[in-house]
Amino acid sequence: MSTMIALSLACSVAAAEGPDEGPAHALQHTSTGFLVGEAVSSILIGLVGPKLVLAEPPDPLTCADAWCEPPGLDVAVNRALALQRPRSAGYLSHAFTLGLTPAVAIGGSILGATGAGRGRYALQDTIILLDALALSAGINSAVKGASRRQRPAFYFGRESLTEAAGLEGEAFRSFYSGDTAWAWTLASGGTTLAFLRGYPHARWVAVGTGCLAFTGGYLRMSADMHWLTDVVVGTAAGVAIGAAVPLLLHRRQGPPLSLSPTVGLDRIGLRLAVGLSPRMR
């Protein structure tokens, strides 16, 4: 685990080493009115949405009304990764998912915007990222409440060793991992915004936030709080939501990004092309 943490922190340091001077492009729908409306909508979905769509679970909730039996792959991975004293790993995981990943994602936008002399872009990007986070949290809360999956520590009867000791309300909130989804939402959103803006250090934001979010998900499994499938689905949901909000609502002004195939004797791949008008070059 210490090796994983060291590699992750090295990636986050690398994310701060990219150049912070260069052009920054305007995005669509970044007026004050639109951003306020987007923020209010995201908060309402995040806070109110789950309460409207979920029925009250039975009290007490048992495996008769919940999802308890894990597939063999989840059990095998849990046996390989779960620590004998997982509580510290649980607390440490929050430092990665709720501390370091947001710091690099938001900090990358701030550095890119101020380095290009576009301070207002930093505020716009931060609002967009927080909106994506609120939306991700709301969807995750709804899925957790609907799926009622038992956490691995409770399944094996060792919850007293984890951060959930004494918190019976956490027993059936395993699917899918909220910490993982939140971290990947910010990692994906921060990376997408950095490329849309054209920040020169965008690739480093991608590497840094990706390493940190991955480590956070790994620690959630080591902490005996989530199964592998919880973390995999949380990663997929976070990446999708984080990329969707800026791509669907805040595309770059002017010609869009495009992907074109490249085929050669030594490579097959995709080339990212950005069409720019003469005055934007």
Q: What is the pLDDT of residues 223-268, one digit of tens each?
A: 999 999 999 999 999 999 999 999 999 998 765 555 455 555 555 5
Is residue 182 one of the residues assigned to a domain?
yes
Taking 70 as the threshold, does the pLDDT of residue 272 lie above it? no
Query: Which pLDDT score, from 0 to 100, does residue 16 have?
Result: 47
- 269 within some domain: no
Q: What is the pLDDT of residue 45?
A: 84
In total, how many domains does the chain have? 1
- Asked if residue 271 is part of any domain, the answer here is no
Quote the mean pLDDT of the chain.
86
pLDDT of residue 173: 95
Which is nearest to 217 in space by CA: 204, 230, 206, 207?
230
Task: Indicate the range of 20-24, 56-60, 152-156, 273-277 predicted with least confidence.
Answer: 273-277
Rounded mean pLDDT of 95-120?
95
φ, ψ for residue 262 (rounded to 5)?
Answer: -125, 130
The reported pTM is: 0.83
- The pLDDT-based confidence of 155 (bands split at 50, 70, 90) is very high
More confident residue, 197 or 272: 197
pLDDT at 275 over 50: no
Kindly state whether residue 264 falls inside one of the protein's structural domains: no
Looking at residue 15, which CATH number applies to its domain? 1.20.144
Backbone angles phi, psi at 258, to 5 degrees: -140, 150
Domain presence at residue 278: no
Of 57, 36, 58, 241, nearest to 139 by C-alpha is 241
Average pLDDT over residues 32-45: 92
Q: Would you say residue 181 lies in a domain?
A: yes
Per-residue pLDDT band for 66 (boundaries 50, 70, 90) equals: very high
* DSSP designation for 133: H
Distance, in Å, from the CA atom of 218 to the CA atom of 184, rounded to the nearest integer, reads 13
pLDDT in tens, 84-104: 999 999 999 999 999 999 999
Residue 276 has pLDDT above 90, yes or no: no
- Give the domain range for residue 117: 2-255
107 falls within a domain: yes
Which segments of the chain are extended strands (E)?
Answer: 257-263, 268-274
In a domain, 222, yes or no: yes
The phi and psi torsions of 153 (rounded to 5 degrees) equal -60, -40
**Residue-level pLDDT at 209:** 97
Q: Is the pLDDT of residue 279 over 90?
A: no
pLDDT score of 21 more than 50: no
